[in-house]
Amino acid sequence: MDIEFVRGDITEQHVDAVVNAANSSLLGGGGVDGAIHRRGGPEILAECRELRAGRYRDGLPAGQAVATTAGRLPARWVIHTVGPVWSKRDDRSALLESCYRESLRVADELGAASVAFPAVSAGVYRWPMDDAARIAVETVRATSTSVALVRFVLFSDTAHHAFLAV
Domain ranges of the chain: 2-165
* Candidates 33, 58, 130, 131; catalytic one: 33
Residue type, position 48, single letter: C
33 is catalytic: yes
Domain 2-165, CATH homologous superfamily name and number: Leucine Aminopeptidase, subunit E, domain 1 (3.40.220.10)
pLDDT tens-place string over residues 83-141: 999 999 999 999 999 999 999 999 999 999 999 999 999 988 899 999 999 999 999 99
Q: What is the pTM of this model?
A: 0.97
